[in-house]
Amino acid sequence: MNARPKSGDDRQNRYLRKLYGDAQAPIISAKITALQEKYGNAAKQNSDAALLTEKDVLLITYGDTLTHNTAPPLKVFHRFYREYLQGIFDLVHILPFHPYSSDDGFSVIDYFAVRDDLGSWDDIGDLGNDCRVMADAVINHTSSQSEWFTKYLDRDPRFSDFYIDCDPESDTSSVVRPRTSPLLTRFHDSGGTARYVWTTFSPDQVDLNFRNPDVLVAVIDVLFFLISKGPRLLRLDAVTYLWKEPGTSSANLPETHVLIKIMRQAVSSLCSEVVVVTETNVPHRENVAYFGDGRDEAHMVYNFALPPLIAYSLIAGDGRHLSDWASHLSTPSDEVCFLNFTASHDGVGVRPVEEILTDGELQTLVDATLASKGMVSYRTLSDGEERPYELNCTFLDLISRETEDVASTVSRFVTSQAIVLAMPGVPAIYIQSLLGTRNDLQGVERSGRARSINRSRHDYSDVVTALSRTESLEARIFERLTHLIRMRRQQDAFDPYAPFEVLDHGDSIFAIRRGDPMSGATITCINNLTDKDVLLEISDVVSGQELLGGANVPAGKHLFPPYAVWWLLADKQ
């Protein structure tokens, strides 16, 4: 896929008129143009190559996941990247690195600064010289300690409409919530007046008011600034909730999609090599709507249904739902793709599969989480009912069994990641998964937050020691995952936009063929989801060399071992 050409202003003006009216649109457009001129030289394009290829695998990490003595953690990670990850991960997502007040970075105090305890913008730039960095744009809300909100409470006229002051008697009963905390939080401004401010996620995370076009311009300024500092992927966090409307769900509203179109257009006009990624942890059919028409919204959308479906398939030994769902995946154009993953800094969200798994099957996931000593986070429905929202545990512990041997744990976990690597789109691996991290119960006790269970910090020396012990859980997982990734990077069939077909080999198997059999090589990725041998019949169409082990697999019946993974490069016909 070729890099996208810059588009004219007509599309952007059309979107602006739709949200803000004919009179405001040219004024806003002029302000965006001025920002493009301001940041144009710093955001210059480096390449006209395709945005994403089969070589692109994303590593997700916090800036301080790795520490060592007094060295800035961003420098420590960069050292680890050069020594262990270069040539494996070409994309690195550094989770929010700005000064913050809560939620491990997702309540930003200052969008234009790097936390002193992490490092500096130079450290972000240096890492960007070795890989492409994805930065978070936390644009649904700011910290209640941010300068913007402070000026709002100080009655600064420039910020008087930056946040949503809502009458507590307003009808908010239909608002979709990802949390159980109150929707409105009371603050007092400098004049002593009570302000009931919209806070979707927590009392410390105050939602921005995109009805005010100055907020949109300020946010685009943030996006452009980030691009000028080197990141070439932007993750738009929690955009589900950008546009609020009392009396509605205030989730995925049409105005929200128009906002994403405006941001995408502005970003692409500044630097067409930047990839815009939307983070919308909602049911699958709502999630994929953020592709827009395939050219006007997100370049990539998180495939949020994949983690719980993979987990259920391996826990239950039953891949029916995974295979059926995957067989119906589609994108509106060949210019967009999914971001596939099983684990991230958050837990495993279950909202995306509420329309796929039954209540009993969802309970299977809840039970497995609790059995692993994990926790379950809930959200409140409009009728007051609480429903599971997120499973808080490492993905490794979620799908493991307490009494099994290390080899079985490793094999099952590697199978889960092999599925991610085989799916159409770009795969992402969380650093805790790569390092074989188990549930951090002490971290939860220290922070009082369930999500800390999967946000461990590691001393660099301890990681190096663990990886040097070849028989350790950590070393086995690291070696096998990096082997899979290296092999994937060599095969054109894994291009993010390449065709795919889900094959039916029964409920115990998940099999997907990648590549176009009419024009090039195809690879069939077969995964045993169970702890039992499965009799597998290989046809002439997919038989060939098994890339991971090197053996030739002829057509016919084969005994497929528990949790085995085969990548079959079809013999040329």
What confidence tens digit (pLDDT) does each residue in 118-156 have?
Answer: 999 999 999 999 999 999 999 999 999 999 999 999 999
- Reported as a pLDDT band with limits 50, 70 and 90, residue 281 is confident
Tell me the per-residue pLDDT of 208-259, one tens digit each, with 9 for 90 and over: 999 999 999 999 999 999 999 999 999 999 999 999 998 899 999 999 999 9
Q: Kindly state the DSSP code that residue 504 receives in the 8-state scheme.
A: -
- Reported as a pLDDT band with limits 50, 70 and 90, residue 423 is very high
Residue 177: helix, strand or coil by DSSP?
A: coil
- Reported as a pLDDT band with limits 50, 70 and 90, residue 48 is low
| Confidence (pLDDT) at 6 | 43
Residue 316's identity, in one-letter code, is A
Q: Please tell me the distance from the alpha carbon of residue 145 to that of residue 134, in angstroms, as a whole number.
A: 25
Q: Please tell me the distance from the alpha carbon of residue 197 to that of residue 184, in angstroms, as a whole number.
A: 5
Residue 18: helix, strand or coil by DSSP?
A: helix
Tell me the per-residue pLDDT of 219-231, one tens digit each, with 9 for 90 and over: 999 999 999 999 9
The alpha helices in 81-212, defined as continuous H runs, are 121-128, 147-153
| Confidence (pLDDT) at 246 | 85
**Structure tokens belonging to residue 408:** 């079985």
- 536 has a pLDDT exceeding 80: yes
Region 79-87 average pLDDT? 98
Query: Which of 78, 560, 11, 38 lies closest to 264 in space, CA to CA?
Result: 11
Burial of 504 (0-12, 13-18, 19+ CB in 10 A): exposed
Bridge partners (DSSP) listed for residue 222 = none
Q: Please tell me the distance from the alpha carbon of residue 380 to that of residue 383, in angstroms, as a whole number.
A: 8
Q: Please tell me the distance from the alpha carbon of residue 351 to that of residue 302, in angstroms, as a whole number.
A: 13
Tell me the per-residue pLDDT of 352-386, one tens digit each, with 9 for 90 and over: 998 999 999 999 999 999 999 999 998 877 677 78
**Structure tokens belonging to residue 544:** 């060939």
**Structure tokens belonging to residue 503:** 């094959």
Residue pair 154/195 in contact (Cβ under 8 Å)? The answer is no
- 9 has a pLDDT exceeding 80: no
- 92 has a pLDDT exceeding 50: yes
**Structure tokens belonging to residue 461:** 């020396």
- 8 has a pLDDT exceeding 60: no
Region 384-402 average pLDDT? 92
Q: What are phi and psi of 427, to 5 degrees?
A: -85, 150
- Reported as a pLDDT band with limits 50, 70 and 90, residue 387 is confident
Residues 237, 296, 346, 495: which is the catalytic one?
237
CA 570 distance to own-chain centroid: 32
- 314 has a pLDDT exceeding 60: yes
Region 168-174 average pLDDT? 89
Which class would CATH give 500-570? Answer: mainly beta
| Confidence (pLDDT) at 384 | 73
Q: Please tell me the distance from the alpha carbon of residue 177 to that of residue 359, in angstroms, as a whole number.
A: 20
Report which of residues 5 and 565 the model is more confident about.
Answer: 565
Bridge partners (DSSP) listed for residue 527 = 510, 565
Region 274-282 average pLDDT? 94
| Confidence (pLDDT) at 42 | 84
Give buried/exposed letters for 292-314 (b at 16+ CB in 10 A, else e): beebbbbbbbbbbbbbbbbbbbb
- Reported as a pLDDT band with limits 50, 70 and 90, residue 46 is confident
- 3 has a pLDDT exceeding 50: no
The helix (H) or strand (E) run that includes residue 347 is none
Residues 6+ apart with CB under 8 A from 362: 350, 353, 354, 388
Q: Please tell me the distance from the alpha carbon of residue 297 to that of residue 573, in angstroms, as a whole number.
A: 40
| Confidence (pLDDT) at 520 | 77
Residue pair 535/560 in contact (Cβ under 8 Å)? The answer is yes
Q: What residue spans in the chain does CATH classification 3.20.20.80 cover?
A: 1-44+55-299
- 482 has a pLDDT exceeding 60: yes
Q: Which position has the token pair 């084969």?
A: 558
Q: What is the 3-state secondary structure (H, E, C) of 474-514?
A: HHHHHHHHHHHHHHHHCCHHHCCCCCEEEECCCCCEEEEEE
Residues 6+ apart with CB under 8 A from 387: 378, 379, 381
Q: Please tell me the distance from the alpha carbon of residue 430 to that of residue 425, in angstroms, as a whole number.
A: 16
| Confidence (pLDDT) at 431 | 98
| Confidence (pLDDT) at 49 | 64
CATH domain 1-44+55-299 topology: TIM Barrel (3.20.20)
Q: What residue spans in the chain does CATH classification 2.60.40.1180 cover?
A: 500-570
Residues 6+ apart with CB under 8 A from 498: 54, 424, 492, 514, 515, 516
Q: Please tell me the distance from the alpha carbon of residue 64 to that of residue 72, in angstroms, as a whole number.
A: 8
**Structure tokens belonging to residue 100:** 């913050």
- 466 has a pLDDT exceeding 70: yes
Residue 327: helix, strand or coil by DSSP?
A: helix
Asked if 189 is an active-site residue, the reply is no
Q: Please tell me the distance from the alpha carbon of residue 380 to that of residue 203, in angstroms, as a whole number.
A: 16
Burial of 84 (0-12, 13-18, 19+ CB in 10 A): middle
- 4 has a pLDDT exceeding 50: no
